[in-house]
Amino acid sequence: MSEARNVKNGILEIGGISVPDLAKACGTPLFVYDENELDQQMSGYKTYFQSDQFETEVIYASKAFTCKALLQLLEKNGLSLDVVSGGELYLAEQAGFPMERIYFHGNNKTDEELKLALDMGCKTIVLDSLMECERVVELADSLKCKIEVMIRINPGITAHTHKYIITGNLDSKFGVMFHDEDTITKMIDLIKDSSFVGFIGFHAHIGSQIFDLRAYDAVIERLIKYIKKLSKDHNLEIKCLDFGGGFGVRYTDEDQPNEIQEVCRRIIKKCEEELLKYDLHLKKIMIEPGRSIVAEAGNTIYHVGFMKKTPNKEYLFVDGGMTDNIRVALYDARYDCDLAEKMDQKKEYQYTVAGKCCESGDILIENAPLPKAETGDLLVVYGTGAYGYSMASNYNRLNRPAVVFAKEGKARVVIKRESYSDQLRLEADEEVII
């Protein structure tokens, strides 16, 4: 993010284009991704997540942000994809993403979604529960469709992060608790009995925005010890382990993320050590970064509208808000911002940046230090590339913003701005035939 922040004559540029030019050409609110930065993150993971002891795979978690253009970049960089719904799977198929590199996650995949995955030739389903395992075996056997499966394990390790985004705790809705051997045994037996379902290994994802890499060490230790015992007890061949994503990113200067190189090397090294310790050989180790690929490459541009003083605050209102960035209301997320045309002015004022929705909680940044702001200024919020557009809504019937990829002075719209008529495309007046 910060390295790529280029300022010319006090005006911010993204991907070699000035923010006012972007706003003029594409309107606001606008998501702008620096395409070179996306490329760098993807190729960084691909380059550093390598071992000479086992194969590796970097699987992007598409829920962080997805669209055809992003999928094409991932494909070009040799990354794989994790999807969590029929919708994400459908998009991947429409974008021509190779099905043999897709992993289907989720705790409550519907029959329709499972059939779609089997039909499209999605390579791997990550099973989240015994019930799902039963259903997948039934479907694959009856449709005579081959599918590989992994089992999502809850390793019982809680990463230190915001409590709402922890998924590795004991009562998480995700995965099967690792010491619930009864359930794991039942799942493995079901899979063994099927001639269409093939077991490849285990998956764990312990949380998000994790900075303390010891959390991954702990999961690696626990899972490798676990599969040593399991493979012996069940005479089971375990080929792969997937340690999920959650690698922390810099939203504000308070966040000190680890370099991709460091994250990758540490995980690889830990896996190599633990495998050696237990005299185990695995075919492949996987990770699933989401936000760390897209967050810092993305920014949101808004126009400043009206302003208002209250006894303790000065509000600066922007033409978007919780509809394009729900993370603040949902997780207390923090962001940095600038006035794009006043980059060389001192930040002598403090504003509460709020959106235009009819919710008091529609605040983007509390006490943002900025130069003196005026109506018509362009405000850039940094690091909005993950879980921004993908969580966007039409609350208050706001149109969802456009998304632009900017690179070396050229920009392309990859998702068009929504229009009022787009919002009405599903309106109906049809008689229901029962």
Ligand X SMILES: *Cc1c(COP(=O)(O)O)cnc(C)c1O
State the binding string over 51-70 for ligand X (x if CB under 6 A, else -): ----------x-xx------
Peptide bond into 29 cis (omega under 30): yes
Does residue 356 touch ligand X according to CB under 6 A?
Answer: no
Cβ–Cβ contacts within 10 Å for residue 412, how many? Answer: 11
Number of residue whose CB is nearest ligand X: 290
Q: Residue 201 burial by CB count (10 A; 0-12/13-18/19+): exposed, middle or buried?
A: buried
When the beta carbons of 331 and 349 are compared against ligand X, the nearer one is 331
Does residue 44 touch ligand X according to CB under 6 A?
Answer: no
> Distance between CA atoms of 329 and 357, rounded to whole angstroms?
12
When the beta carbons of 29 and 385 are compared against ligand X, the nearer one is 385
Taking CB under 6 A as the criterion, the residue among 123, 291, 327, 407 binding ligand X is 291
When the beta carbons of 61 and 373 are compared against ligand X, the nearer one is 61
Does residue 224 touch ligand X according to CB under 6 A?
Answer: no
Does residue 327 touch ligand X according to CB under 6 A?
Answer: no
What is the chain's alpha carbon radius of gyration, rounded to the nearest angstrom?
23
CB of 125 to ligand X, least distance (A): 13
Q: Which of 133, 264, 357, 358 is catalytic?
A: 358
Taking CB under 6 A as the criterion, the residue among 29, 155, 289, 385 binding ligand X is 289
Does residue 149 touch ligand X according to CB under 6 A?
Answer: no
Distances (CA, A) of 335 to 4, 64, 282, 338, 424: 17, 17, 40, 10, 33
Candidates 73-81, 263-271, 288-296, 364-372; binding stretch for ligand X (CB under 6 A): 288-296
CB of 82 to ligand X, least distance (A): 6
For the question of residue 358 being annotated catalytic, the response is yes
Candidates 8-16, 50-58, 227-235, 241-249; binding stretch for ligand X (CB under 6 A): 241-249
Q: To 5 degrees, how large is the angle CA 78–CA 3–CA 336?
A: 105
State the helix-helix crossing angle for 181-193 and 130-143, rounded to 10 degrees.
0
What is the full DSSP assignment across 159-181? -SS-GGG---STT-SSSEETT-H
CB of 152 to ligand X, least distance (A): 7
Does residue 290 touch ligand X according to CB under 6 A?
Answer: yes
When the beta carbons of 29 and 245 are compared against ligand X, the nearer one is 245
Distances (CA, A) of 208 to 48, 61, 245: 21, 12, 7
Cβ–Cβ contacts within 10 Å for residue 119, how many? Answer: 11
Cβ–Cβ contacts within 10 Å for residue 208, how many? Answer: 26
Distances (CA, A) of 322 to 64, 282, 296, 298, 304: 16, 44, 19, 16, 15
> Distance between CA atoms of 126 and 123, rounded to whole angstroms?
10
Within 8 A by CB and 6+ apart from 432, the residues are none
Taking CB under 6 A as the criterion, the residue among 244, 257, 355, 388 binding ligand X is 244
When the beta carbons of 65 and 317 are compared against ligand X, the nearer one is 65
When the beta carbons of 205 and 342 are compared against ligand X, the nearer one is 205
Cβ–Cβ contacts within 10 Å for residue 306, how many? Answer: 9
How many positions of this chain bind ligand X (CB under 6 A)? 17
Q: Which of these, 220, 214, 219, lies nearest to 262 by C-alpha position?
A: 214
Candidates 48-56, 242-250, 252-260, 419-427; binding stretch for ligand X (CB under 6 A): 242-250
CB of 385 to ligand X, least distance (A): 11
Taking CB under 6 A as the criterion, the residue among 29, 44, 156, 246 binding ligand X is 246
Candidates 24-32, 185-193, 284-292, 408-416; binding stretch for ligand X (CB under 6 A): 284-292
What is the phi/psi pair of residue 264, to 5°?
-65, -50
Does residue 205 touch ligand X according to CB under 6 A?
Answer: yes
Applying CB under 6 A, the residues found at the interface with ligand X are 61, 63-64, 82, 105, 205, 208, 244-247, 288-292, 386
